[in-house]
């Protein structure tokens, strides 16, 4: 008979419900291999970005009443949720490739969304990154700036990684993680290597993204383009710490989406495109490695029903 554990604890707000996400074995997809995924889409805001936003707002200067961020969608939703709880005004800038579901989620929390041309380089005055900086400067708001802030990776060093380490009793041989802003792989990777330098940290990204060159030194002149959200960048984000990453492998969109669908149909896990990308990356690795592979599924496929399913 199964024993169930119940908790009578009442949370002070939805922000106190962030964390304690489950880890599950991917035994149907990778039978015969020890592959474990931490389901970060089970945070109340629907993604791992809840942790980062909560941490960054805890470290904000006193007197802040208005927050701004550029985001592919998940950070924007997490910030909008937190702003609603804390009574803050919130503006989010997103590229026009952001899914309609993510935009509606951000707006549902009461935030203002500014949709920008995704083809513009970051330095362009009208890019989604530049617009966030300009709104913050003109309106006296706090710009979280996840792509440059060290608080991004610190959030995962102090929160995500210790939780995962405890859940798995430190039994981790490989940590495989998609790279977007670089905060998750940098913070979790640093924590793991501080505990056990033999753990191998491997990043996953789409073709022609900037991170493989940053880690391996292999030049890549190709044009970065992907249908996936939240994974890969044209240029390396300042929040990325290449020193903790042992290798970066690449996965094309077709393979990522194929594994995304397999996760839903074989494991019952409705995850986002970046999870399909990292799962396809693990499939590349398994024939040549042994030991436990741990990954993180950052967000839910519910954000992409109109695009990927």
Question: 205's torsion region: left (phi>0), alpha (psi -120 to 50) or beta?
Answer: beta
Phi, psi of 19 (to 5 degrees): 100, -175
Q: How far apart, in whole angstroms, are the C-alpha atoms of residue 233 and residue 64?
A: 30
Three-state SS string across 69-88, please? EECCCHHHHHHHHHHHHHCC
Give the containing element (helix H, strand E) for 177: strand 174-178
Set 38, 49, 193, 233: catalytic member: 49
Q: Is 104 a catalytic residue?
A: no
Residues contacting 154, CB < 8 A, separation 6+ = 55, 187
Q: Beta strand 23-25 with 35-39: parallel, antiparallel or unpaired?
A: antiparallel
Taking the CA atoms of the chain, what radius of gyration do you get in angstroms?
19
Positions marked active-site: 49
């Amino acid at each position: 008979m199964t024993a169930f554990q119940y908790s009578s604890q009442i949370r002070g707000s939805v922000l106190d419900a962030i964390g304690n996400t489950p880890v599950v074995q991917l035994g149907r997809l990778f039978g015969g291999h020890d592959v474990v995924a931490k389901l970060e889409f089970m945070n109340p805001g629907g993604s791992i970005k809840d942790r980062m936003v909560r941490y960054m707002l805890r470290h904000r200067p006193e007197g802040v009443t208005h927050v701004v961020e550029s985001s592919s969608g998940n950070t924007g939703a997490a910030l909008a949720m937190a702003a609603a709880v804390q009574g803050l005004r919130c503006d989010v800038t997103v590229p026009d490739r952001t899914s309609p579901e993510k935009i509606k989620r951000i707006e549902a929390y009461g935030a203002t969304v500014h949709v920008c041309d995704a083809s513009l380089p970051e330095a362009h005055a009208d890019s989604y990154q530049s617009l966030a900086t300009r709104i913050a400067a003109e309106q006296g708001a706090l710009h979280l700036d996840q792509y440059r802030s060290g608080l991004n990776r610190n959030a995962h060093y102090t929160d995500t990684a210790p939780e995962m380490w405890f859940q798995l009793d430190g039994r981790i041989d490989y940590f495989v993680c998609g790279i977007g802003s670089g905060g998750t792989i940098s913070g979790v990777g640093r924590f793991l290597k501080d505990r056990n330098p033999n753990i191998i940290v491997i990043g996953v990204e789409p073709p022609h993204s900037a991170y493989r060159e940053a880690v391996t030194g292999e030049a890549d002149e190709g044009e970065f383009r992907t249908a996936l959200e939240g994974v890969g960048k044209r240029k390396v984000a300042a929040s990325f710490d290449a020193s903790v990453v042992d290798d970066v492998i690449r996965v094309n969109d077709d393979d990522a989406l194929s594994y995304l669908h397999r996760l839903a149909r074989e494991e019952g896990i409705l995850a986002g495109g970046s999870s399909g990308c990292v799962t396809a990356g693990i499939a590349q690795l398994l024939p040549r490695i042994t030991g436990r592979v741990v990954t993180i599924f950052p967000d839910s496929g519910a954000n992409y029903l109109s695009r990927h399913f």
